[in-house]
Structure 1
Amino acid sequence: MENATLLVEIGTEELPPKALKGLSEAFAHNLAQQLRDHTIALGDVRALATPRRLAVMIHDVAAKQDDQTVEKRGPSVDVAFDSDGQPTKAAEGWARSNGITVAEAERLTTDKGEWLLYRADVKGQPLAELLPGFVQKALDQLPIPKPMRWGNSSVQFIRPVHTVTMMHGDQLIAGEVMGIASATRLLGHRFHCPQGTHLAHADAYEATLEQAWVIADFAARRTRIEQGLAEQAQAEGGHIRPDQELLDEVTALVEWPVVLTASFDEQFLSVPKEPLIVTMKDDQRYFPLEDEAGNLLAKFVFVTNIESKDPAQIIAGNERVVRPRLADAQFFFETDKKTPLAERVESLANVLFQKQLGSVKDKSDRIASVAATIAQQLGHDGAIAQRAGFLCKADLNAQMVLEFPETQGVMGMHYARHDNEPAGVPEAIYEHYLPRFSGDALPQSIAGCAVALADKLDSLVGIFGIGQTPKGDRDPFALRRSAIGLLRIIVEKDLPLELTTLIAASRESFGELLTNVNVEAEVLEFLLGRFRPMYQEQGISVDVIQAVLARRPTAPVDFDKRVHAVAAFRELPEATALAAANKRVANILAKIEAEVPSQIDTSLLSAQEEIALVKALEEAELVANQALAEGDYAKALKALAALQKPVDAFFDNVMVNADEAAVRENRQALLQRLRGLFLQIADISVLN
């Protein structure tokens, strides 16, 4: 049989929607790898998946393995035969394992000796004999955390399996997978085609399922849903915020998507939109509609898995379901407003932050104090930051936040506005949680930055202060995320803040609570260590980051300027030679036990190359020092790049360790001055 399309489908009960895409891709990868590992030729691989099936379609798959010549080296001749020339047990055991006698073995001669050799031409096995085992192994390797058993079977999988189909072209491949015999029957749509359908050819898989009201291709279903959402939104004069995670989840919930629009009572729009959006998206998988100004409309778009003759019934059903959930949000909002945020703070004394560090109220008090200090360091009135810090956790015991934890911070903002808190306080309450994840937005106001920094510092200094540092994958207080968020705020908002000062202010707010005497040094080290993953994510090479870390600059904005300057320097043609020269200088200076003179004695300069280097060094210093005074590290390094040729000439023609002590020490002073100039920016000897 010639090469043909291979189709493998596992029909199941409804698969977990959030896991479907990953399972599908892993199944396709695993099965294709099995074929490759066993020398079966194949073409393009496609992963197909719906809520009730995992499928793989592979084009141009060979009907059998490639024929192979197998060679297996045995023991060396010295080991294979004893002194009488008789085969040893080692040789006989090896020959027996290959189905031959020692006498039938060939010899392999190399420049390192002679060995027994087994060589055989092995005919490739048919795909039909191998495939059931390949499929089973591919399924066994899927990332399934909690497999289940069903009925009386001992088979385990993520959901009960009902059908297995393995077809190569128009040929059904017999065999069992998960205890189910391969057959042409495919599960159809649960409601539109409950009787299922039959597959005649692997190439007809998608078309056959479409006749059974199933769109097998995940991406095709997703595109169909996206188009439906856009059409419905446009028809209603609104738009839907992009939400790829929700879109993927909904795609994994339906086999025949139909997109409809429903509405809810406009009275619910008196509630802030965030909890309404949360309940529609998270509880119901609906897509809320907004106008161009970002205001929520009293409408939502949803995806159903059935093409009804009377869609009004489906719309009405979804409207009935969402109403009590929105009513709950309205009740929580109206109830919460009766208690001002400031009155909620005292009850935070009953909410534990960490048993050694006290309550959430204690944390809020510390945040308020440190936030005010940070705001003042930035030249702003600390009163707004202090008030926002005092109130920033007050919404945690509000009914709305207890019901919808995702709304913490944003509800604090709304309640603060309702309470007529001073301008800037509500926004800072919301902003203090930012950034919540990689790539998230940053606080916009100075008060918001101050409270966000104070909150993150409190967690870092507090947890390090009681000796509970993150280890391995364990980071229960998300300190790594807090550290990177802190650095991002300072760097991207260009805030003139210094880490040791910030850490000290936070340390002082704890009074006598902390037991780790090295807490400030350890937190600083931890924060400096976060620069590496932060800049690696931006595409900065590790050696550039290490070159700057070697100088340990503790002002994040200054660190950022150095990193980008060194990254630009690294691309210059002179960089490689200067990095090597700096490494050589560092090695020479490291071996000197005596104190190196601080000044160069020009009267001791004799070699033309050292005289030229001193002159070039003085010229470069003038430009570099002016650039450094302006904080322009890129300009300074560009000026130092001009030293490459005189430095190379110096090392090519001048003996640093001259016999005469005064000359030797003077040349060492020259090298020290050269290295010191570079070290004002970074240790470029680290660059690869």
Structure 2
Amino acid sequence: MARDFLLEIGVEELPARFIAPSLEQMRELAGKALRDSRIAYKEIKTYGTPRRIAILITGVAESQEPLIQEVKGPAVKVAFNAAGEPTRAARGFAKSQGVQVEDLVRKSVGPVEYVFAIKKEEGGETYAVLTAIALNLIEGLHFPKPMRWGDLEIRFARPIRWLLCLYGKDVVKFEFAGLQSDRYTMGHRFLSHGKVALADAGSYSRVLEEVFVIAGINERKEKIRSQIEQVATEKGGRPETNEDLLDEVTNLVEYPTALCGSFDERYLEMPEEVLVTPMREHQRYFPVRGSDNRLLPLFVAVSNGGTSNVDIVRAGNEKVLRARLSDAAFFWQEDLKAPLEDKVDGLKKVIFQESLGTIYEKVQRITSLADYICGRLGATPQERSDLIRAARLAKADLLTNMVYEFPELQGIMGREYARRFNEPEGVALAIYEHYLPRFAGDDLPETLPGKVLSIADKMDTLAGCFGIGIQPTGSQDPYALRRQALGVCNIILDAGLTLSLTEMIEHAYKSYLDRVKMKLGVDRVTTELGEFFRQRLRVLFIERGLPYDTVDAVLAPGYDDFYDTWLRGRALHQFRSEPAFDALLTAFTRAFNLSKNTESDRVDPVLFETEVEKDLYAAFNKVSKAAGDSLKARDYSMAFSLIAGLQKPVDRFFEDVMVMVEDRRVRDNRLALLKNIADFIGKVADLSKLVVQNK
């Protein structure tokens, strides 16, 4: 009969971010261990709270499945003589495998028939191997910051306090970290007392709930979601249920109880972010909004306990938030005593990066780069004016009291202070938007000054870091250069901006030369940073739905203009589904393969010896002119269609003309013609990188 297997590791309170990854590791490790041990099971379930990580495997077979091996021996014609009797080779093989000669099985492997020995090893009892599996599950877990405790050499996320391991009703015995496994668990730290015995593995979640622990993460999360909605609704509002915050709170408690607290309405006079940030980021509270979507002087907190002392818990949470909001109100009033402009000179004392100078110097550089980019994009005078002003003020809020206390409000407070001191709205928005996107999936800047300033800020950082030899390696990226490069790519692609990567890198690099000694020259920085961007673009294009080989094909001719590269990729992807694509690919492939080693592309019509050559040359000139106009207009779909028209003259050329003739001048002229065709198509995409699917 099958039984359930349970392993629970009881620990001191785990960081919330450790729990979900550790459970996923346990699931993978357990599945592999059971498969390797030939033990059948039904389902793997995981449970996690701040004080425990556990795995329950249902329907675990009581014995291992038999191990059947087939060992190939000699060929049949060697193993048996003409009379069908086993030879010395067959008898020797059977003896070496521990089977009888008459039990050998004949099987064909390709055109040859061989004899095989079928060896069957009966499976042992599952219980006998569960000890090793349990230990491997514990030892196989990895954490971002493991720790040691006592005089033990063992490392784990937090000190282990108990081990529960059951197979059905039986305890699976083992020792780890000085602890013996048993059938006892622990309930809620404050709502239950002493050890709790489990009669069998299957009763795990039910028994824990009786001692005020909801072990299932999803069950606990949905309970919290329901509770916070209920208590907020009772107060006439609705909670702002940020999913990341909900996940974190779920892994901070074992027995959740939501409660609604309040704060003084006068704090609502401050910008929303000033209230939401300490509530959400510091206290793990859920803000509450009214029917008009405006903040109410309410919050929802989730306590780790029952309802008996909820009023005391509410008062404590209100007291803590009151102190934070009081500090924020003080910072707000102090910061409003002087405009952002008065803080700009103070940036001369703030270091951007020890080798790259101060924030003030960065402001000067990004102002210059932003002005250059703005000119390339044909901005209006008002947009340019807003951009230059925003660039000067962009980093000034770093010296405000509010941002010093709440660094996550940088940019947000710059926007709010700019508004309070009557800066144009375009300036205020650009100050905020230049930090966007802050993380994967974040909003992108919407205004042109915001887009340009964001690009300039990120390109300045990238060029400077690469120039002094700081590049991401493996998992190390302390200056978030990957994120900044992705931000530049996303802004350009989303807005359809036409900008030269090379020109931006060179302009950003040269802005450093007066004050910073670069380790790498501009050419090397351009090359290495260009490759860095190519890797980001490749990932982005694939995420946006382009096949990997289409992406490689359009990146090959160059990607200096990100948006142009995207348009070429999208057009090629669409064109690949059309009948004319085969014609285009055939024309390119035949011309490319023969001429890829040809250096000269100079064609002399005087050297043509056949009408077919003249026809191909004329067709190419006609197509290249028409397709060239389409390329200038970025109508790549039309360009592909026009180029596909070269198939027939190319086919006739190869059917009627011998390219590799003895006359070198004639041969080179024909190769040059083919090279012209391949190079022209290659300006749009290197079709040799496409993987042709069999139809």
Q: If the TM-score is normalised by the length of the shorter chain, which range does it land in?
A: 0.7 to 0.9
Q: 2:640 — aligned with what? A: 637
Give the alignment of 1:136-151 within 5 angstroms: 136-150=135-149
- Supply the distance in 1 between the matched residues of 2:582 and 2:487 (Cα, whole angstroms): 34
More off after superposition, 262-271 vs 468-477: 468-477
3-state SS of paired residue (2:425) = coil
Q: Name the counterpart of 2:429.
A: 427
Q: Deviations over 1:476-513 (max 9, x none)?
A: 33222222211221221122332233334334433434
CA contact (8 A) 2:605 2:614 kept: no
Q: Which residue of 2 aligns with 1:217?
A: 216
Structure-1 residue corresponding to 2:596: 590
CA separation of 1:594 and 1:264: change in aligned 2, threshold 3 A = closer
- Which letter does structure 2 place at the counterpart of 1:554? D
Q: CA 1:649 to 1:204, structure 2 compared with 1: closer, same or farther past 3 Å?
A: farther
1:171 Cα deviation after fit:
3.5
Q: Give the C-alpha shift of residue 595 in structure 1.
A: 5.2
For residue 338 of structure 1, give the secondary structure of its aligned residue in structure 2. Answer: coil
* Cα distance change on mapping 1:73 and 1:51 into 2, 3 Å: farther
* Alpha-carbon separation, structure 2, partners of 1:584 and 1:29: 49
- Pick from 674, 677, 680: which aligns with 2:680? 677
Q: Which residue of 2 aligns with 1:605?
A: 610
What per-residue deviation string (whole Å, max 9, x for no partner) do you get for residues 516-537 of structure 1? 2424454444434432122133
Question: Do the aligned partners of residues 154 and 354 (structure 1) sit closer, same or farther apart at CA in structure 2, a change above 3 Å counting?
Answer: closer
Q: CA deviation at 1:301?
A: 0.8
What corresponds to 1:571 in structure 2?
577
1: CA distance between counterparts of 2:97 and 2:559? Answer: 73
Match of 1:372, SS state, is helix
| 2-structure distance, mates of 1:663, 1:5 | 81
Alignment of 1:199-598 (within 5 A): 199-291=198-290, 293-378=292-377, 379-381=379-381, 382-512=384-514, 513-515=516-518, 516-518=521-523, 519-575=525-581, 578-579=584-585, 581-592=587-598, 596-597=602-603
Alignment-mate amino acid for residue 380 of structure 1: T
**Residue 416 of structure 2 aligns to which amino acid in structure 1?**
H
SS of structure 1 residue aligned to 2:403: helix
In the TM superposition, residue 426 of structure 1 has moved relative to its aligned partner by: 1.2
1:47-66 equivalence runs, <5 A: 47-66=46-65
- Stretch deviating more after TM superposition (267-276 or 450-459): 267-276
The aligned counterpart of 2:76 is none
The amino acid across from 2:680 in the alignment is L
Partner of 2:658: 655
Tell whether the 8 Å contact from 2:598 to 2:672 is kept in structure 1 after alignment: no
How far, CA to CA, are the matches of 1:139 and 1:245 in structure 2? Answer: 28
Separation in structure 1 between the aligned mates of residue 151 and residue 72 of structure 2, nearest angstrom: 48
TM-score, normalised via structure 2 length:
0.86
Name the SS of the counterpart of 2:239 in structure 1: coil
Where does 1:163-202 land on structure 2 (aligned, <5 Å)? 163-202=162-201
Query: 1:598: Cα distance to partner?
Result: 5.7
Q: 1-side partners of 2:472 and 2:161: how far apart?
A: 45
Structure 1 pair 180/129, CA: closer, same or farther in 2 (3 Å)?
A: farther
Q: Offset of 1:656 from its aligned partner? A: 2.8
CA contact (8 A) 1:574 1:644 kept: no
Tell me, in whole angstroms, the C-alpha distance in 2 between the residues paired with 1:61 and 1:600.
83
1:135 and 1:177 in contact (8 A); partners too: no
- Contact persistence 2:506–2:522 (CA under 8 A): no
The residue identity in structure 2 corresponding to 1:223 is E
Unaligned 5+ segments in structure 2 are: 74-94
Show CA shifts across 1:437-489 (max 9, x none).
22221111111112112111211222233343444444333222222211221
- Residues 370 and 506, structure 1, Cα contact 8 Å, conserved in 2: yes
Partner SS, residue 424 of structure 1: helix
Amino acid at match of 2:635: D
What amino acid does structure 2 have at the position aligned with 1:684?
Answer: L
1:593 to partner: Cα distance: 5.2
For residue 200 of structure 1, give the secondary structure of its aligned residue in structure 2.
Answer: coil
User: Sequence identity of aligned pairs in percent?
Assistant: 38
Q: Flag the 1:673–1:146 CA change in 2: closer, same or farther, 3 A.
A: closer
Q: How far apart are 1:237 and its partner, in Å? A: 3.7
**Alignment partners' CA distance in 2, 1:620 and 1:663:** 23
The one-character-per-residue Cα deviations of 1:125-159 (angstroms, maximum 9, x if unpaired) are 22222112111111111112443444565554322
Contact 2:601–2:672, Cα closer than 8 Å, also in 1: no
Moved more, 265-274 or 515-524: 515-524
Aligned-partner Cα distance in 2 for 1:369–1:314: 54
Size of the alignment, in residue pairs? 660
1:46 aligns with 2:45: yes
Q: CA deviation at 1:281?
A: 1.6
1:254-307 deviations in whole A, cap 9, x for unaligned?
122122211111122222222322211222111112335543221111111212
- Looking at structure 1, the residues matched to 97 and 446 of structure 2 have their Cα atoms a distance apart, in angstroms, of 84
Offset, 1:434: 0.8
Aligned mates of 2:206, 2:385 — CA distance in 1: 67
What is the TM-score with the length of structure 1 in the denominator? Answer: 0.87
CA pair 69-285 structure 1, distance change in 2 beyond 3 A: same
Instruction: Say which SS state the counterpart of residue 227 (structure 1) adopts.
Output: helix
Distance of 1:130 and 1:240 partners within structure 2: 49
Paired residue secondary structure (1:142): coil
**How far apart, in 1, do the equivalents of 2:222 and 2:604 lie?**
70
Change (3 A) 1:355 1:315: closer
**Cα deviation code 1:556-583 (max 9, x no counterpart):** 2212211211222333355466446524
Partner in structure 2 of residue 29 of structure 1: 28
Task: Tell me the residue number matched to 1:162.
Answer: 161
Shift of 1:49: 1.3
